[in-house]
């Protein structure tokens, strides 16, 4: 099928490459000429494992191309995927200006039947807004409006697209549903479940999923606080509840709070959607508050471990909001670094992929080329993102270059007993210093 994807950001690029790999003829279009020129030359503007290879493969085989020609791309396509940004407004709601602009552009250029698919994360009711825009242009009879939310995890987006847990299709007519199933035909052989519903339910599914996962993160972060007060171990608690099939083990890792392009924006948006319809989404409001409190608590953790940080050098390992991405959006390291700087600390930092993005965000931060340069002459070292290379540091070397052997591990990467034995003053989240964990369940 001839498909046009409008928007070459994270979602648009992964979607375009994935659909091309399924055998569709895909054109990715963007108004940013410099970005399109770079993509045509094989340069990928974001870091995502596997993305470079799948783009190069499908471009070389002629199934994937990049252009700024909106009119031609719309006219030639049978299906048009909208994958533009929906940034957060000051009140927490999603800004739909780009989606609406794209809808008006499609309405102006469409000259035959079109499947208009919303891939961007949009508030409930956006499909009806797009439908009204198409109708105002007198083209409603030519358009089928579909919601097809993405569930891509940064760092594993290609795998998530090629082997998803489910495909959600929100549509109101059988032809649109059939066309969507044709687009995703290779997934039928993998027995991937298809959830077919109306547009409003489909739009809500994405927000509900992210809201629930964010709730699990805030929940386990509060359990970590309770463990510290009671002498428990959050990793044992997480394992104990995660083995319950009704709960599951994922998103039960204590840390410095959630960030990224989805959870903060989507949880705030669903709370605002509820308020606009006269309902207070109390659980989500609490999740957001806990997340902000946990981020502030990370700064206090460092101060408690170091004392007065004014004039002291604090090293930060990890800047992206999670491993395997260069995304700094709403990263917990932002309030961490800013909070330490407000207390007079001198901050040094390193991240395997997010350095360039971070340089544009922070002033007076010394960026280093690896973990060991970051640790040199530091009064404390903070593990803020659990990149694999930080899981196997040469701890003797780290200790030898630090001014004081103080480590604050906000991701619980290391064993507290081991760190104490190696002579570190080690702080982590919700864990006792002496562990009594057994990995083999005892039969009753």
Q: Which residues carry out catalysis?
A: 262
3-state SS, 231-247, equals CCCHHHHHHHHHCCCCC
Crossing angle of helices 263-276/199-230, nearest 10°?
Answer: 120
Fill in the DSSP letter of residue 186: G
Q: Which element (helix H / strand E) includes 276?
A: helix 263-276
d(CA 422, CA 405): 10
Q: Which element (helix H / strand E) includes 361?
A: none
The answer to whether 114 and 176 are in contact (CB under 8 A) is no
Fill in the DSSP letter of residue 141: G
Strand, helix or coil for residue 158: helix
How would you class 137 by CB atoms within 10 Å of its CB: exposed for 0-12, middle for 13-18, buried for 19 or more? middle
The answer to whether 150 and 15 are in contact (CB under 8 A) is yes
The answer to whether 343 and 302 are in contact (CB under 8 A) is no
């Amino acid at each position: 099928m001839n498909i046009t994807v409008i928007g070459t950001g994270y979602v648009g690029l992964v979607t375009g490459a994935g659909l091309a790999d399924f055998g569709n003829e895909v054109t990715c279009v963007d108004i940013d000429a410099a970005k399109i020129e770079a993509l045509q030359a094989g340069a990928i503007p974001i870091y995502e494992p596997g993305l470079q290879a799948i783009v190069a493969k499908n471009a070389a085989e002629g199934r994937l191309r990049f252009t700024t020609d909106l009119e031609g791309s719309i006219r030639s396509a049978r299906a048009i995927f909208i994958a533009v940004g929906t940034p957060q407004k000051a009140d927490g709601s999603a800004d739909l200006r780009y989606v609406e602009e794209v809808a008006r552009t499609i309405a102006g250029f469409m000259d035959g039947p079109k499947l208009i698919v919303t891939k961007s994360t949009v508030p409930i009711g956006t499909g009806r807004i797009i439908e009204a825009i198409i109708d105002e242009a007198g083209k409603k009879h030519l358009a089928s409006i579909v919601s097809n939310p993405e569930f891509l995890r940064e760092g594993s987006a290609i795998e998530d697209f090629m082997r998803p847990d489910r495909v959600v299709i929100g549509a109101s007519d059988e032809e649109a549903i059939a066309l969507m199933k044709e687009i995703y035909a290779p997934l039928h052989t993998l027995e991937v479940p298809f959830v077919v519903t109306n547009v409003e339910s489909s739009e809500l599914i994405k927000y509900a999923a992210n809201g629930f996962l964010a709730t699990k993160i805030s929940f386990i972060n509060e359990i970590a606080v309770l463990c510290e007060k009671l002498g428990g171990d959050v990793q044992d608690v997480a394992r104990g509840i995660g083995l319950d099939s009704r709960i599951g083990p994922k998103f039960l890792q204590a840390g410095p709070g959630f960030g990224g392009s989805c959870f903060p924006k989507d949880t705030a948006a669903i709370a605002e959607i509820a308020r606009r319809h006269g309902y207070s989404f109390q659980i989500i409001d609490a999740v957001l508050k806990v997340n902000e409190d946990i981020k502030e608590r990370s700064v206090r953790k460092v101060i408690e471990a170091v004392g007065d940080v004014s004039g002291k050098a604090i090293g930060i390992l990890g800047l992206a909001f999670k491993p395997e991405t260069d995304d700094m959006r709403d990263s917990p390291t932002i309030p961490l670094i800013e909070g330490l700087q407000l207390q007079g600390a001198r901050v040094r930092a390193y991240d395997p992929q997010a350095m360039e993005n971070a340089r544009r965000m922070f002033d007076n931060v010394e960026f280093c080329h690896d973990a060991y340069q970051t640790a040199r002459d530091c009064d404390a070292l903070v593990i803020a993102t659990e990149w694999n290379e930080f899981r196997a540091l040469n701890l003797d070397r780290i200790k030898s270059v630090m001014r004081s052997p103080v480590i604050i591990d906000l991701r619980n990467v290391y064993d507290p007993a081991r760190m104490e034995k190696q002579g570190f003053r080690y702080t982590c989240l919700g864990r006792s210093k002496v562990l009594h964990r057994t990995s083999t369940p005892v039969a009753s």
